[in-house]
Structure 1
């Protein structure tokens, strides 16, 4: 995915979350709602997360150096992991803690009707942010389902933005439901339970994002590119046998290492010319591939 699409998704998310956070904070103070306070904390955490994602995206685009010859592409994953940790702690655990305190020391919820109206506005703003992020995702998702894309994407920034937006929308639904029950029953414990449920939701989303980003940090294989390159090489008359292929993601770029057997009667010059031609075509077919290392061998 291009950096311009990532930037747009992050900017939309930041603007929406900032407006929502300020609105929720005012409503939480006015009504005394624990669910609304949990949602406000979540939105402020999301604002900080967008800043971290933007920093990570810009730093990952730095040019390669002698010390880092493959560039800084994976740095985006580090900042995305920081976001997952923030979402887990500031967003999730703090909301659970706040709900737990309110459950044991109930506080009256006032002006719940106003709070519900504000939640409705927040749903609309969050929907705009999610729509922008999903639009950016469509550029790279192809025929894959959303869950499959989530498992396979190397665009950690977009993964985080979509995960946060989905969690935010579900959190708003929970907050609205718990406030509604509080209004109907007059029991503020429902509001406290809502805060804990929202916190648990954020913890689950943070763990899912953290697990995927951890895999990217370790160096995740791009199976689609690997299989496509394998298929291409098998069709080449000059390739006797494909022995092994690695296609490892490095940010938005991919490093491909090939081990293949060529006819034994080729001269060195002929082999070099054929390999250069195949490497050039592989890069043309797959623009994300930035490095191709081709090793000639006759054994696995």
Structure 2
């Protein structure tokens, strides 16, 4: 289920990427490495992406209004989707372009020691940020397999930040190998190959994130635990005879809509039905605090 949606994981990644992008940019100028330039632009793009996520979190916290009666929770999903698009275009596509250009116009890579030192430092910082993301996700996945949690999680901001950081780590490893091979073999085309590999990684991660966030953006069902809890609470009440329809929708981080059509015992008055519905809603919210909206349609007994 959705957890606490603090912005600490976003801010720590933003600070890390700001420092890393400056170091990479200086190293790219000194070495003339295409892979280093691709990594510099990747880190700068990540900084912009994290600012967009912070904007999304802030907008998702706005209260419901007459125009948006169910709140603004899906704003975070919209900005998460924008991050995936920017990661695809600003990071992946540009890296592919730069790699193809370098293959045809390969230039000598200089000051390799500087580039390797900066990449190693960047990998250490990115690795630390990624491990922090994993620790946070381990708290929330509650025994669910890690990759299944990535597919099922409603915490789009955490998944996007983890995707960015994991892609950055893999990209840095490719950049390190490319720069090292270019230096050892004297063939600068290895640098171009590393740049292409970084582009492929970024595009792959961006496509995965876009697919997952798009599902939330268009209206994904809530966690199965909430559906099961709502059904179980209805069955436990002797005044409710059957569950005819049960729908859950994830409206935003920690915000779930539940709609049910319930059958009630014969002979109940309108007041008794209304009271039973109110009791059911209270018990459901007590068990599942994520349920922010609950709509129940009563059905007449069958004769």
TM over 0.5: yes
Map of 2:239 onto structure 1:
238
- Between the aligned partners of 2:219 and 2:301, the Cα distance in structure 1 is 25
- Between the aligned partners of 1:250 and 1:37, the Cα distance in structure 2 is 39
Q: CA deviation at 1:136?
A: 2.8
- Between the aligned partners of 2:227 and 2:125, the Cα distance in structure 1 is 40
Runs of 4+ in 1 over 3 A off after TM superposition: none
Map of 2:131 onto structure 1:
131
- Between the aligned partners of 1:254 and 1:294, the Cα distance in structure 2 is 14
Which deviates more from structure 2 when the two are superposed, residues 143-152 or residues 170-179? 143-152
Equivalent residues, number: 298
Q: CA deviation at 1:157?
A: 1.0
Q: CA deviation at 1:113?
A: 2.2
1:84-95 matched pairs, under 5 angstroms: 84-95=84-95
Map of 2:80 onto structure 1:
80
Provide closer, same or farther for how the CA distance between residues 299 and 77 of structure 1 changes in structure 2, counting only shifts above 3 A.
farther
- Between the aligned partners of 1:15 and 1:298, the Cα distance in structure 2 is 59
Map of 1:11 onto structure 2:
11
Q: Aligned with 2:240: secondary structure?
A: coil
Q: Aligned with 2:243: secondary structure?
A: strand
Are 2:190 and 1:208 aligned?
no
Q: CA deviation at 1:298?
A: 5.2
Contiguous gaps of at least 5 residues in structure 1: none
Provide closer, same or farther for how the CA distance between residues 265 and 79 of structure 1 changes in structure 2, counting only shifts above 3 A.
same
Alignment RMSD (CA, Å): 1.4
Q: Aligned with 2:73: secondary structure?
A: coil
Instruction: State the TM-score, normalizing by the size of structure 2.
Output: 0.95
- Between the aligned partners of 1:121 and 1:173, the Cα distance in structure 2 is 12
- Between the aligned partners of 2:131 and 2:239, the Cα distance in structure 1 is 48
Are 2:286 and 1:284 aligned?
yes
Q: CA deviation at 1:137?
A: 2.3
Map of 1:45 onto structure 2:
45
Q: Aligned with 1:3: secondary structure?
A: coil
Map of 2:256 onto structure 1:
254
Q: Deviations over 1:135-188 (max 9, x none)?
A: 332342211122111111111111110000000001111111111211221111
1:101-116 matched pairs, under 5 angstroms: 101-116=101-116
Contiguous gaps of at least 5 residues in structure 2: none
Q: Aligned with 1:290: secondary structure?
A: strand
Q: CA deviation at 1:75?
A: 0.7
Contact 2:171 2:198 in 1 (8 A): yes
Instruction: State the TM-score, normalizing by the size of structure 1.
Output: 0.96
Map of 2:276 onto structure 1:
274
- Between the aligned partners of 1:269 and 1:235, the Cα distance in structure 2 is 20
Are 2:58 and 1:58 aligned?
yes
- Between the aligned partners of 1:98 and 1:70, the Cα distance in structure 2 is 45
- Between the aligned partners of 2:237 and 2:214, the Cα distance in structure 1 is 36
Are 2:26 and 1:26 aligned?
yes
Q: Aligned with 2:238: secondary structure?
A: coil
Map of 2:143 onto structure 1:
143
Q: CA deviation at 1:66?
A: 0.9
Q: Deviations over 1:231-279 (max 9, x none)?
A: 2222222221111111100012000001111112211111111111111
Contact 1:243 1:299 in 2 (8 A): no
Q: Deviations over 1:36-87 (max 9, x none)?
A: 1111110000000000000111011011111111111101111111111110
Q: CA deviation at 1:299?
A: 8.7
1:113-124 matched pairs, under 5 angstroms: 113-124=113-124
Q: CA deviation at 1:115?
A: 1.2
